[in-house]
Structure 1
Amino acid sequence: MSYATTADGVRLYYETSGTGLPIVFVHEFGGDHRSWEPQMRYFARRYQCITFGARGYPPSDVPTDVERYGQAIAADDIAAVMDALKLERAHIVGLSMGGFATLHFGLRHAKRALSLTIAGAGYGAEKEHEEYFRGVSHEVARQFELQGAELFAKTYSLGASRVQFQNKDARGWQEFATWLGEHDAVGSANTMRGVQARRPSIYDLEGELGAMAVPSLVVVGDEDDHCLQPGIFLKKTIPACGLSVMPKTGHTLNLEEPAAFNALLAEFFAQVEAGQWKPRDPRAIPSQIMKTA
């Protein structure tokens, strides 16, 4: 088993496959390092693919102090995994919680990112729902502690943006739900309190995001309601950013629609590597409807 060690001494479990330019996959709250298997198998044919467990997700360490969890820490943990593998730069791909970590990696470690794929990132970002989201996050943490992961996974895995996965692919969804039930309750609770409930809204980062030059792709499902408007905001704010909305799709994008997701990433990586994923043409003025002179 391979581990990276962070600056504060936490060991992060990681796996690698393939050779070539590196891709680091960063999992969501409800997933773990296993959640990227369809991408690991597909992209390892021509890339070096890395998947790792966030702190709090065995076989990575599970710190018991909530202060050892946070949004900046999550972004820096990606860099720690890259350091362990002696990777100077990589494509960074994250979903949901991992999408936020990917976004913050771009803000904190821009020179180390070949590109950023920010998928399903939006929960808690909408200003009108900010306090509600924080309260729900604390309640989710409490239920993990009260019920344990195996029992509470039966509730959490059936959220409003998860049932699309269940309806399309019952076997795949069941595997997701089973793995969720194997998570560490302390790690899940601390992640909810330390990362999810405390992270800043992306709307409060507009200035920083507007100055971030990393080629970026935002991906959302059209039935992942609380990610749609934040996704449009990111598209409009990050200079070299594309937006893809996947139809009839919920939150667990990479597992729910693996072929479409892989195809999106493959095209994005090819454009970036060719130097063709550029900032928006300044002639494309958002306020203009038709040119008359």
Structure 2
Amino acid sequence: MPYATTDDGVRLYYEETGNGRPLILVHEFAGDLRSFEPQLRHFGKRYRVIAFNARGFPPSDVPEGPASYSQARAADDVLSVLDHIAEEKAHIVGLSMGGFATLHFGLRHHDRAQSLCVGGCGYGAELETRETFRSEADTIANFIRSSGMQAFSERYAYGPTRVQFENKDPRGFAEFKQILSEHSAVGSANTQAGVQKERPSLYSLVEEMKKMTVPTLVISGDEDWPCLLPGVLMKQSIPSAALSIIPNAGHAINIEEPDEYNRIVGEFLSQVDSGRWPMRDPRAISKSITGIKP
């Protein structure tokens, strides 16, 4: 089994397919690399696609203590995979927890990113809901520790941004829930405590985001309520960012709407690869709709 090893000695399991420019897929909390199967198949036709399991998600290593898990480590783990495959740069595509890792990869390692696709990113970002979010992370971690992943999957899978997937694709949703139930309780609880709960609010990163020049696509479903306003914030703050919203879609857009997701992301990657992805024209930023000064 192929593994990349991080600077703190954690082994990250990965799979790859295809040839061409490298593209790294970074999964969400409720998924793992299997959640990116539609993208491995689609983008593997034209890219060297690598999907890996985050620390805490077997067969990657599962560190026992929460101190081994953080938002910074999640971003740096992407770098460890990139270094392991001996590539200078890659397109980085992430969803939810993986979307946050992708954004932070761009902030920490911008010179190693060909582009960033930040999907479903924003839960817990708004300052007025910050403490509620942190409390929920504690509740989730404690529930997982006390009740296990099977019981947790029966609750978490039916959240308000997941039911859209169940309604559209019961078979795909059942597979998603099964994958979630198979995760490590220790790894999932530690991920909640170390990565999710402690990650900084996007609103505290605005000045850093304003300096980003890496081509960036922010993408969410229009019923992924916690990600909509943070998505607008990223669009406004990152001068190289575009914002795409998939209609009538929840959180897990890459498996809920794989055809539309692949189309949008594929068009983004093609523009980046051809050198046609734009920086925002400063004239597009004005408090006046006409640009005419009184």
> TM-score, normalised on structure 2?
0.98
1:148-159 alignment runs, 5 A limit: 148-159=148-159
> What are the superposed Cα offsets for residues 157-191 of structure 1, whole Å, 9 maximum, x if unpaired?
00000000000000001000000000000000000
- The aligned counterpart of 1:275 is 275
- Alpha-carbon distance, 1:136 to partner: 0.2
Amino acid at match of 1:67: A
1:84 aligns with 2:88: no
Aligned equivalents of 1:276 and 1:127: distance in 2? Answer: 35
The answer to whether structure 1 residue 229 and structure 2 residue 229 are counterparts is yes
| Number of the residue aligned with 1:217 | 217
SS at match of 2:283: coil
CA offsets, 1:209-243, max 9 Å, x none?
A: 10011110000111111100000000000010000
* Residue number in structure 2 paired with 1:56: 56
Give the Cα separation in 2 of the matches to 1:286 and 1:101.
Answer: 31
Alignment partners' CA distance in 2, 1:292 and 1:101: 41
1:291 shift after superposition: 4.5
> 1:96 corresponds to which residue?
96
Task: Structure 1 unaligned segments of length 5 or more: list them.
Answer: none
Q: Which runs of 4+ in 1 moved over 6 A?
A: none
Aligned-pair distance for 1:262? 0.3
Report the AA paired with residue 103 of structure 1. L
- The root-mean-square deviation of aligned C-alpha atoms, in Å, is 0.8
| Counterpart-to-counterpart distance in 2, 1:201 and 1:22 | 29
Offset of residue 292 of structure 1? 4.7
Deviation at 1:283, TM superposition (A): 1.6
- How many angstroms apart in 2 are the aligned matches of 1:108 and 1:290? 37
Equivalence for 1:257: 257
* Alignment length (residue pairs): 293
Give the Å deviation of 1:65.
1.0
- TM-score, scaled to structure 1: 0.99
Q: Percent identity?
A: 55
**What is the CA–CA distance in structure 2 between the aligned matches of 1:225 and 1:66, rounded to whole Å?**
28
> Match for residue 10 of structure 2?
10
Distance apart, 1:84 and its partner CA: 1.1
CA-to-partner distance for each residue in 1:218-271, whole Å, 9 max, x for gaps? 001111111000000000000100000111100001000000000011110111
Distance in structure 2 (CA, Å) of the matches to 1:234 and 1:41: 29
Q: Deviations over 1:113-136 (max 9, x none)?
A: 000000000011011110000000
Q: Kindly indicate whether residue 192 of structure 2 is the aligned counterpart of residue 192 of structure 1.
A: yes
Shift, 1:288, TM fit: 2.4
Does residue 1:117 correspond to 2:121, yes or no? no
Q: Distance in 2 between matches of 1:284 and 1:138?
A: 42
Match of 2:39 in 1: 39
Distance in 2, matches of 1:252 and 1:155, equals 16
One-letter amino acid matched to 2:283 = R
Q: 1:286 to 1:170 in 2, by over 3 A?
A: farther
Q: Which amino acid in the other structure matches residue 210 of structure 2?
A: G
Report SS of the residue matched to 1:148.
helix
Give 1:108 shift. 0.6
Structure 1 letter corresponding to 2:251: H
CA distance in 1 between partners of 2:123 and 2:249 (Å): 16
